[in-house]
Structure 1
Amino acid sequence: MTPQAVVFDIGNVLIEWQPERFFDGIIGADRRRAMFAAVDLHAMNDRVDSGETFRNVITETAQATPEWRDEIMLWHDRWLDMASPAIDHSVRLMAALQSRGVPVFSLTNFGIQTYDLAATRYPFLRQFDRDFISGHLGIIKPNPTIYATVEQTSGIPPQALLFTDDRAENITAAAKRGWQTHHFTDPQGWADRLVTAGLLTKDDAQ
């Protein structure tokens, strides 16, 4: 079936998201490994993505672990430097789909405040035809309810949705619901899939 809409994850699909790389550059790989071993920073970020207030969550975590307080606060104060840079080829693919009249949705684990912050640097985040942002929904992938919300809100049957995400567990959850899926590893692979699906020409997908 030719997809009726294309659904993009954002982190590591449209924008690079590599907190470990950021901290390696600031405090060095050894200290970064020690910090990530001592503090579950990804769980902290999941709280933000689930809808808790960005500043409050980071500040609470920093205060709870004073030996890493200054470093943890960088997660707040330099968040835009962590969520960087844009993956330009993927951004072009999004625009090419829309220019051909293909609806493009976001389906992303992203906080309320962090999404607004990211949109100040990346205007394309305001250009989706529909947004499904975990912070606003109060659900994060791979919870099946977030996929059901996309189906119900859009009115598009699962088999007519084509979804890309860099995390295998998120792809697996969508596939279990009957979605067409693509595990994102690089933008060229995604471009090729969109051509194969009949949504873009090879020239469009450059």
Structure 2
Amino acid sequence: MTPEAVIFDIGNVLLEWQPERFYDAVIGPERRARLFAEVDLAGMNEGVDLGAPFGASVEALAAAHPEWAVEIRMWRERWFEIAHPPIEGSIRVMRALRARGVPVFALTNFGRETFDAAVERLPFLAEFDRAWVSGRMGVMKPDPAIYAALEAECGVAPGRLIFTDDRADNIAVAAARGWQTHLFEGWQGWAARLVDAGLVQKAEVGL
């Protein structure tokens, strides 16, 4: 069944998201390992992805762990160094689809404020036909409710959607709903899947 619309995750699909790599470079691997063991940065970020205010969330965590306050505040102050670099091959794939008139959506766990800031700094994030952003919706992958919202609003039957994400749990929920799926492990594999689906040609996506 030929897909009618293509859905991209953003983190580690269109934009690298490797906080450990950032902190390794800034404070060293050993100190980073201690930081991540003692401070629930991932939990704080999940709260932001569910709609909690970004700055206040970072400050609350810094206040709770004053010995790590400088490092915790880097999550806000240097966010664009953490969410970096863009994955150029995936951007090329997205633009090739849009040039062919294929609807391209985003389904992403992303904070409200951070997404808005990212769109200003990274214009390709404004190129989707529509983006479903967890921080705006108050629900995040892999909760089936966020997939159901996209289905209800996009006007495309589930079996005609094709979705890529770097997390197997997010992919599994989409597949269970009848979506066509691709576990993202690199832009080349995603591009090849879309070529096989008849949506683009190799030359258009750099293969």
TM range (shorter): over 0.9
* 1:6-21 equivalence runs, <5 A: 6-21=6-21
Moved over 2 A (4+): none
Aligned match of 2:137: 137
Contact 1:6 1:161 in 2 (8 A): yes
Counterpart AA for 2:164: T
Aligned match of 2:153: 153
Counterpart AA for 1:28: G
Give, in whole Å, the separation in 2 of the partners of 1:185 and 1:146: 23
Give, in whole Å, the separation in 2 of the partners of 1:41 and 1:163: 28
Contact 1:109 1:135 in 2 (8 A): yes
Give, in whole Å, the separation in 2 of the partners of 1:26 and 1:117: 23
Counterpart AA for 2:106: S
Aligned match of 1:115: 115
Aligned match of 1:87: 87
Unaligned runs of 5+ in 1: none
Aligned match of 1:69: 69
DSSP 3-state at the match of 1:185: coil
1:34 aligns with 2:34: yes
Contact 1:195 1:202 in 2 (8 A): yes
Per-residue deviation, 1:151: 0.3
Per-residue deviation, 1:157: 1.2
If the length of structure 2 is used for normalisation, what is the TM-score? 0.98
Identity %: 56
Aligned match of 1:105: 105
Counterpart AA for 1:191: A
DSSP 3-state at the match of 1:17: coil
If the length of structure 1 is used for normalisation, what is the TM-score? 0.99
1:186 aligns with 2:186: yes
Give, in whole Å, the separation in 2 of the partners of 1:38 and 1:173: 31
Contact 1:80 1:117 in 2 (8 A): no
Per-residue deviation, 1:121: 2.0
Q: 1:80-119: CA deviations, max 9, x gaps?
A: 1100000001000000000000000000000011011111
Unaligned runs of 5+ in 2: none
Q: 1:176-199: CA deviations, max 9, x gaps?
A: 101000000000000100001110
DSSP 3-state at the match of 1:46: helix
Q: 1:137-185: CA deviations, max 9, x gaps?
A: 1101000000000100012111110000001110011101010000000
Give, in whole Å, the separation in 2 of the partners of 1:201 and 1:74: 42
DSSP 3-state at the match of 1:204: helix
Aligned match of 1:127: 127
Counterpart AA for 2:166: D
1:44 aligns with 2:58: no
Alignment length, in residue pairs?
206
Aligned match of 1:199: 199
Give, in whole Å, the separation in 2 of the partners of 1:154 and 1:187: 24
